């Protein structure tokens, strides 16, 4: 069965520090992968999506970047975090047609 792993669950980082959040999927190949961010009490904002290795589409100009070094690995990064980068980050994947999206459990990032 397909599973998605996202870590860490919580993270507190100082302003100006780097960030690396990792997401990996199992039980599927060539998935579409997504990074979302959710501010407190708000909906999900699509940040990046990827249809394959090295293919990244950015939805929102921001202080973040994404990479897909392997088929089932999706990484969210920042060189210097801002206070506004705080939020709940979710990774998701979508497999073959007509299937639902599977979400990781999320990373709650607090930039202090």
In the complex, the residues that contact another protein under the rule CB under 8 A are 6, 32, 34, 36, 42-44, 46, 49, 51, 57, 59, 88, 90, 92, 94-106, 108
| Closer of 62 and 108 to another protein (Cβ) | 108
Q: What is the phi/psi pair of residue 85, to 5°?
A: -80, -5
Q: How far is the CB of 26 from another protein (least distance, A)?
A: 16
Which three-class secondary structure string do you get for 91-102?
EEEECCCCCCEE
Q: How far is the CB of 90 from another protein (least distance, A)?
A: 5
Q: How far is the CB of 101 from another protein (least distance, A)?
A: 6
Q: What is the phi/psi pair of residue 46, to 5°?
A: -75, 125
d(CA 16, CA 46): 23
| Closer of 74 and 102 to another protein (Cβ) | 102
d(CA 65, CA 72): 17
């Amino acid at each position: 069965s397909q599973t998605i792993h996202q870590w860490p669950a919580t993270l507190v980082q100082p302003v100006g520090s780097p960030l690396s959040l990792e997401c990996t999927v199992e039980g599927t190949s060539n998935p579409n992968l997504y990074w979302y961010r959710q501010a407190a009490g708000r909906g999900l904002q699509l940040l990046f999506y990827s249809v394959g290795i090295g293919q990244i589409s950015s939805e929102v100009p921001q202080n973040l970047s994404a990479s897909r070094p392997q088929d089932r690995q999706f990484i969210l990064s920042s060189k210097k975090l801002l206070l506004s980068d705080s939020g709940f980050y979710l990774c998701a994947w979508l497999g073959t047609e007509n299937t639902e999206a599977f979400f990781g459990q999320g990373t709650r990032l607090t930039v202090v």
